[in-house]
Amino acid sequence: MSWRTVVISKSAKLDYQMGYLVVRSDLTTRIHIGEIAILIVETTAVSLTCALLSELTKNKIKVIFCDEKRNPSSELMPYYGSHDTSMKLRKQVAWSDDIKKSVWTEIVGEKIRNQAKHLKEYNDKDAELLMKYADEVEYADETNREGHAAKVYFNSLFGMSFTRTLDNSINSALNYGYSILLSFFNREITSSGYVTQLGLFHDNMFNQFNLGSDLMEPFRPLIDRCVKQMNPVKFEHDEKREILSFLQSEIKISGRREVIGNAIKIYTRSVFDAINEKDISIIKFYSYEL
């Protein structure tokens, strides 16, 4: 089972040899392809061979490329992640609005509950208000409990003057963490044979990851928790490593403890089962306590 997150942070040449990723820099490092879950190319001073990219795609390894500021800017997406992709795509296009809205209702409610549990760790009185919002979520969240909860949640977590539009270290850390989290979901979506563009709720014509944006919502509070604990006054190399390390933590799902990446796989596939079988009780959410 793949488990490594490999980060290339300085000038290097990457190629593929006999089942290994070979990193040639000051030293030469070899990492077996089967161990890698995610490869993050953090600097633009890196060259890769087509042979390596082909093998990474075949092995369903998520490859994330960063820009000149070392922030995630793109990722490698395979055309086909499963042998039955054509059948899965036909199913996805045929998903009814009713089941999509029902699943989205469950996702929103779970997200708000996880936000409330996070605030409860700090004995924040607003945790009860968020639990109330979670109980009030209506079909397809027509009353926008998610939006009301987000405002209360972020102000309680980071202060009344905080907004998600501010240019500061906290938002930089949140955005970085969310982008890595989104890549985890995109990997599972494509490896299951579905496409990321067709979402349940998100429907932005300029967003090629609408479905990933939907499914990741209950997991966002995990990133919030990490950033709150970090309380970064800057967001640079060490802070990024701390977030990547946090994503190797274990959470409880299906009665057992799994690293976050495996929990995402279990949850994502349960959502697809719930949609295809029209049974939202199938969805497997994680237990928030780490």
Burial label, 90 (beta-carbon count in 10 A; 0-12, 13-18, 19+): exposed
Position 78 scores a pLDDT of 82
Which amino acid is present at 36? I
Which amino acid is present at 124? D
Position 290 scores a pLDDT of 63
Per-domain boundaries in the chain:
4-76, 85-282
Position 4 scores a pLDDT of 87
Angle at 252 (CA atoms; ends 249, 256), nearest 5 degrees: 115
Gap between the Cα atoms of 53 and 59, Å rounded = 10
Q: Where are the beta strands (DSSP E) in the chain?
A: 4-8, 12-17, 20-24, 28-32, 36-41, 46-48, 62-66, 72-76, 250-253, 256-259
- Which CATH architecture best describes the domain 85-282? Up-down Bundle (1.20)
Token pair belonging to 76: 């490698």
Position 212 scores a pLDDT of 97
Q: What does pTM read for this prediction?
A: 0.90
Position 105 scores a pLDDT of 98
Token pair belonging to 141: 């969240």
Which amino acid is present at 84? D
Q: What is the pLDDT along the chain (290 residues), one digit of tens a residue?
A: 677 889 999 999 999 999 999 999 999 999 999 999 889 999 999 999 999 999 999 998 989 999 998 889 999 988 877 888 999 999 999 999 999 999 999 999 999 999 999 999 999 999 999 999 999 999 999 999 999 999 999 999 999 999 999 999 999 999 999 999 999 999 999 999 999 999 999 999 999 999 999 999 999 999 999 999 999 999 999 999 999 999 999 999 999 999 999 999 999 999 999 999 999 999 999 997 76
CATH of 4-76, one of 1.10.340.30, 3.100.10.20, 3.40.720.10, 3.20.20.370: 3.100.10.20
Closest CA to 99 of 284, 273, 285: 273
Q: Are 221 and 260 in contact (CB under 8 A)?
A: no
Closest CA to 124 of 107, 142, 146, 149: 149
Position 1 scores a pLDDT of 60
